[in-house]
Amino acid sequence: MSRLILKVAIDAPLRHLFDYLPLFNVPPPAVGCRVRVPFGRRSRVGLVVAHAPHAEVADAQLRHIHEAIDAEPLLTAPLLDLLHRAADYYHAPPGEVVVGTLPALLRTGRPAQLAPPFEWRLTNTAPAPDSVGRAPRQAALLRALAAGPRTEDDLDAELEGWRVTARTLASKGWVERAERAPEPAPTGAPPAAPTLSAAQQAAVDAITGASGFHAFLLDGVTGSGKTEVYLAAIESALAAGRLALVLVPEIGLAPQTEARFRARFGAAVAVLHSGLTDGERLAAWLAARDGRVGVLIGTRSAVFAPLPRLGLIVVDEEHDTSYKQQDGFRYHARDMAVLRARLESVPVLLGSATPSLESLEHAASGQYRPLHLHERAGSARLPQLHLLDVRHQRMTGLVSPALAAVMRDELAAGRQVMLFLNRRGYAPVLLCHACGWVPKCTRCDAHYTLHRARRLLVCHHCGSERPAPTACGECASGELLPLGVGTERIEADLATLFPDHAVLRVDRDSTRRRGALDAHLAAARDGRADILIGTQMLAKGHHFPAVTLVGILDADQGLFAADFRATERLAQTIHQVAGRSGRGDLAGRVLIQTHQPQHPLWQALLGGGYGVFARGLLAEREAAGWPPYSHLALLRAEAAGAQEALWFLGETLSLAAEFGQAGVELLGPVPAPSPKRAGRYRAQLLLQASRRAPLHNLLRRWLPALAQLPAARQVRWSLDVDPVDTY
Ligand code: ADP
Ligand code: ZN
Ligand code: ZN
């Protein structure tokens, strides 16, 4: 007799699906529906990804599902297809991909629909609050509702224990509970779109004229009006009754992008990012799935959001490495966006002022169609880049006299200055002047960074903190010297150098609280701060019209990094930071402080701009056989002992030789560049291949086998396909 087996994905670190039987006498749950299933001794939420005639396990082991959760599939067929291929490409456990990318509340089995919000309001018979003066709780609730209906969420926040009171008042007929009417859509005409330049219009025409899958690389200098191109292309998709998905690299960028998109598209815009509460995330996800959203803006994981009638995908700042998930299911959202567009036969638009070398190579080889915006929109001009030779200069912290002089002129003219330093904290090292003692994180073998305002030593590797010492741990001397300079220290130096000007620091520490980043950025835009000092966070995408001078304080840091992508990153960062300046009517200038003014990288970057520089880098990559001219996968392992990770990787190496590794080079194993982190020792093995197929063929056979190695039990290991950094 033929029977039906449910193939279920469960969020567990196992590289296979699980077989279950449906319940008796009810139709089996469809593919795409969630089910609750017995799993070991507990029960788990899984998702049915296929129906099959046969089970992989013996009959005695087959169990029935506990219950079907969804009546309708949660995920559409093309989305399930995308997730399957993603799991296959990244060699990730299918459950981690299919279930792990759902909003948290759906993973726990919550119904896939929203309870409508309820509100409480007064009836006509409600007495005045003062007339129930002897019942203070009743009076308080009546008073709260006298100002107008309140949602249950509001009341929860305002009045403790209000529910009991509400029931009492309802029994008297004084208050009632009702479903809240949806918010009225905002009225008023949306702001008129600017008249597009010829280059913008050509880009929009190319995108809207495409039918089916096409990948476009919109390579446009900062401030060239890429966003206007996105908006116009989306407008045309919406007009055709299709929806758009817009990916942005950071939550920090989502609110601004959201504001700009809302101004154009109003209530059709929804956002999905990690700054939302679980409930908000679920609401946005469901609204998208139900087609109540016209434009979904989100960070990385939004690439897996369900959207019926998808018409266009936009990936803003496509070069940004935060599109790569760095733990668990290590996917690259840009690459998934391109794959999704292909599966759903829609155009995908990748935009950047500093495209990744991968995308430039794809454009050169004809896989992506390049679109260019060479000039800034309106009257804004591109800033000039200059090197400041700081050798032999008497620095105040990291500020050279020449930089300080230019800053003074700009500030005197009422303009804003932005300084950039990719190192947070006060000082990266604390040192005893008497004996040389340096406090170190014992779990990482790394120096602590001094955070002076919070009076803490913080390990930037593992995040551990301890109170900053006031005396040496070895000799008890009180003379502890902070060495080196972080953003917090620059902030203090600037207060001394420019006592009459407001300084604002923007980094991970100053923006810890929810909403703090937005508040800081608003202060910067409104001109409430004259000097902005920040890390990378300040560099990305923000628009400050009054900034005319950008100073890059310690550019040499990026010249000497170990990773082969370091120069690409440095060039992108400098161009992005530079792009913050001169976006208004005023011309901008960028001063790069360096001790290496002759370095060929500076010559290339200043001589030809990012495009020329990137072509040079591509030639180097090709000669050296690095991506995008080869394909990488990195096997990482970590263990409690110093040797286990290396041993394990050594065994995986022999295993690969057994499987036959033609076309794949295995490099290592070697200790990771910072081998000890959070008390564990780390090592890695790099796989490199000039073609993808042999690499993936090897991985497909090798991974299940290495999971079975006895040595695998002593280590934690993970595979990173297309790693964005190799440390
Ligand atoms: P990008 O996304 O490339 O950094 P934006 O789209 O943010 O650039 O544009 C930069 C500025 O120029 C914005 O203030 C935008 O409103 C303005 N802008 C863009 N295109 C035009 C245009 N065609 N006409 C006038 N202003 C424009
Ligand atoms: Zn000492
Ligand atoms: Zn540490």
pLDDT tens, residue by residue, 395-420? 998 999 999 999 999 999 999 999 99
Element (H, E) at 351: strand 347-352
More confident residue, 666 or 512: 666
CA distance 226 to 372: 10
Displacement of CA 685 from its chain's centroid (Å):
26
- Which runs of consecutive H residues, i.e. helices, occur in 53-197? 77-90, 94-98, 104-107, 136-146, 152-158, 162-171
Percent of the chain whose pLDDT exceeds 70: 95
DSSP 183: P
CA distance 196 to 693: 44
Contact of 177 with 145, CB cutoff 8 Å: no
Q: With a 6 A CB cut-off, is 575 part of the ligand 1 pocket? A: no
The pLDDT score that the predictor gives to residue 606 is: 84
The pLDDT score that the predictor gives to residue 570 is: 84
CA distance 73 to 59: 27
Percent of the chain whose pLDDT exceeds 90: 59
pLDDT 10s digits, 107-164: 999 988 876 667 889 988 888 888 887 888 898 899 889 888 888 877 887 888 888 8
How many angstroms separate the alpha carbon of residue 206 from the centre of ligand 1?
19
Question: Given pLDDT bands bounded at 50, 70 and 90, which one contains residue 479?
Answer: very high
Range ranked top by mean pLDDT from 123-137, 172-186, 358-372: 358-372
Strand partners, 636: 684, 718
pLDDT 10s digits, 418-460: 999 988 999 999 999 999 999 999 888 888 999 999 999 999 8
Shortest-distance atom of ligand 1 to CA 195: 23
CA distance 658 to 328: 28
The pLDDT score that the predictor gives to residue 580 is: 73
Rg (CA), the chain: 29
Region of poorest pLDDT, from 68-82, 358-372, 576-590: 576-590
Nearest one of 629, 632, 605 to 616, comparing CA atoms? 605
Question: Given pLDDT bands bounded at 50, 70 and 90, which one contains residue 374?
Answer: confident
The pLDDT score that the predictor gives to residue 237 is: 95
- Residue 387: C-alpha distances to residues 169, 452, 596, 599, 613 (Å): 73, 31, 9, 11, 16
The pLDDT score that the predictor gives to residue 661 is: 81
SS3 665: strand
Contact of 240 with 311, CB cutoff 8 Å: yes
More confident residue, 268 or 380: 268
Strand partners, 18: 8
Strand partners, 593: 388
Pick the ligand that lies closest to the CA of residue 583: 1
Element (H, E) at 257: helix 254-265
Q: Helix, strand, coil % (nearest 5) of the chain?
A: 35, 25, 40
Q: How many CA atoms lie within 13 A of 243 on its CB side?
A: 22
Q: With a 6 A CB cut-off, is 378 part of the ligand 1 pocket? A: yes
End-to-end CA distance of the chain: 54
How many angstroms separate the alpha carbon of residue 562 from the centre of ligand 3?
20
Contact of 465 with 494, CB cutoff 8 Å: no
Two structure tokens written together for 218: 């919109």
Number of H helices, E strands in the chain: 20, 33
The pLDDT score that the predictor gives to residue 52 is: 95
Shortest-distance atom of ligand 1 to CA 579: 4
Element (H, E) at 204: helix 198-209
CA distance 502 to 521: 14
Nearest one of 709, 708, 276 to 515, comparing CA atoms? 276
Does residue 574 surpass a pLDDT of 70?
yes
pLDDT 10s digits, 481-500: 999 899 999 999 999 999 99
Nearest one of 408, 551, 397 to 489, comparing CA atoms? 397
Q: With a 6 A CB cut-off, is 220 part of the ligand 1 pocket? A: yes
* Torsion angle defined by CA atoms of residues 123, 129, 135 and 141, in that order, rounded to the nearest 10 degrees: 60
How many angstroms separate the alpha carbon of residue 695 from the centre of ligand 1?
43
Strand partners, 42: 39
Two structure tokens written together for 548: 């005319």
How many angstroms separate the alpha carbon of residue 679 from the centre of ligand 3?
8
Please state the rounded mean pLDDT for residues 274-289: 89
How many angstroms separate the alpha carbon of residue 441 from the centre of ligand 3?
5
More confident residue, 226 or 555: 226
Vertex 55 angle, CA 51 and 60, to 5°: 130
Task: Choose the residue to mutate in 228, 297, 379 for probing ligand 1, maximizing ligand atoms within 8 Å of C-beta.
Answer: 228
CA-nearest residue, atom 6 of ligand 1: 225
Please state the rounded mean pLDDT for residues 366-383: 84
Q: With a 6 A CB cut-off, is 579 part of the ligand 1 pocket? A: no
Does residue 56 surpass a pLDDT of 60?
yes
| Contacting residues for 313 by C-beta, under 8 A, at least 6 apart | 244, 245, 246, 247, 303, 337, 340, 341, 346, 347, 348, 349
Q: With a 6 A CB cut-off, is 377 part of the ligand 1 pocket? A: yes
Q: Other CB atoms closer than 10 Å to residue 624's CB: what's the count?
A: 10
How many angstroms separate the alpha carbon of residue 416 from the centre of ligand 3?
37
CA-nearest residue, atom 19 of ligand 1: 225
Question: Given pLDDT bands bounded at 50, 70 and 90, which one contains residue 364?
Answer: very high
Q: With a 6 A CB cut-off, is 194 part of the ligand 1 pocket? A: yes
Shortest-distance atom of ligand 1 to CA 227: 6
Contact of 489 with 426, CB cutoff 8 Å: yes
Q: With a 6 A CB cut-off, is 196 part of the ligand 1 pocket? A: yes
Region of poorest pLDDT, from 217-231, 269-283, 635-649: 269-283
Per-residue b or e along 498-523, where b marks 16 or more CB atoms closer than 10 Å to that residue's CB: beebebbbbbebbbeeeeebeebbee
Q: With a 6 A CB cut-off, is 224 part of the ligand 1 pocket? A: yes
Contact of 22 with 29, CB cutoff 8 Å: yes
Pick the ligand that lies closest to the CA of residue 443: 3
CA distance 64 to 2: 16
Nearest one of 261, 262, 263, 281 to 272, comparing CA atoms? 281
Pick the ligand that lies closest to the CA of residue 439: 2
Per-residue b or e along 343-378, where b marks 16 or more CB atoms closer than 10 Å to that residue's CB: bbebbbbbbbbbbbbbbbbbbeeeebbbbebebbbe
How many angstroms separate the alpha carbon of residue 453 from the centre of ligand 3?
20
Q: With a 6 A CB cut-off, is 585 part of the ligand 1 pocket? A: no
The pLDDT score that the predictor gives to residue 81 is: 95
Burial class (CB in 10 A: 0-12, 13-18, 19+), 67: middle
Two structure tokens written together for 327: 């733990």
Shortest-distance atom of ligand 1 to CA 543: 7
The model's pTM is 0.85
Please state the rounded mean pLDDT for residues 541-560: 81
How many angstroms separate the alpha carbon of residue 222 from the centre of ligand 1?
9
Task: Choose the residue to mutate in 195, 221, 227 for probing ligand 1, maximizing ligand atoms within 8 Å of C-beta.
Answer: 227
Contact of 520 with 506, CB cutoff 8 Å: yes
Does residue 690 surpass a pLDDT of 60?
yes
Q: With a 6 A CB cut-off, is 257 part of the ligand 1 pocket? A: no
Element (H, E) at 694: helix 692-708
CA distance 333 to 248: 10
CA-nearest residue, atom 21 of ligand 1: 377
How many angstroms separate the alpha carbon of residue 328 from the centre of ligand 3?
21
Strand pairing class (631-639; 547-552):
unpaired
Pick the ligand that lies closest to the CA of residue 464: 3
The pLDDT score that the predictor gives to residue 182 is: 59
The pLDDT score that the predictor gives to residue 662 is: 87
Contact of 449 with 482, CB cutoff 8 Å: no
Pick the ligand that lies closest to the CA of residue 459: 3
SS3 298: strand
* Placement of tokens 């919109």 in the chain: 218
How many angstroms separate the alpha carbon of residue 83 from the centre of ligand 3?
35
How many angstroms separate the alpha carbon of residue 468 from the centre of ligand 2?
14
Q: With a 6 A CB cut-off, is 223 part of the ligand 1 pocket? A: yes
Vertex 693 angle, CA 367 and 711, to 5°: 135
How many angstroms separate the alpha carbon of residue 432 from the centre of ligand 2?
5
Does residue 184 surpass a pLDDT of 60?
no
Mean pLDDT of the chain: 89
Shortest-distance atom of ligand 1 to CA 373: 3
How many angstroms separate the alpha carbon of residue 439 from the centre of ligand 2?
10
Strand pairing class (5-10; 18-21):
antiparallel
CA distance 190 to 192: 6
CA distance 200 to 225: 7
Nearest one of 147, 90, 148 to 331, comparing CA atoms? 90
Pick the ligand that lies closest to the CA of residue 460: 3
Q: With a 6 A CB cut-off, is 197 part of the ligand 1 pocket? A: yes
Residue 194: cis peptide before it, omega within 30 degrees of 0: no
CA distance 247 to 196: 23
Shortest-distance atom of ligand 1 to CA 197: 23
- Please give all residues whose CB falls under 5 A of ion ligand 2, grouped by chain where several chains appear: 432, 434-435, 437, 472, 474-475, 477
* Placement of tokens 């599966």 in the chain: 343
- Residue 612: C-alpha distances to residues 588, 618, 619 (Å): 21, 10, 11
Per-residue b or e along 128-143, where b marks 16 or more CB atoms closer than 10 Å to that residue's CB: ebeebeeeebbbbbbe
How many angstroms separate the alpha carbon of residue 218 from the centre of ligand 3?
41
Does residue 685 surpass a pLDDT of 70?
yes
The pLDDT score that the predictor gives to residue 600 is: 84
CA-nearest residue, atom 5 of ligand 1: 225
Region of poorest pLDDT, from 28-42, 367-381, 478-492: 367-381
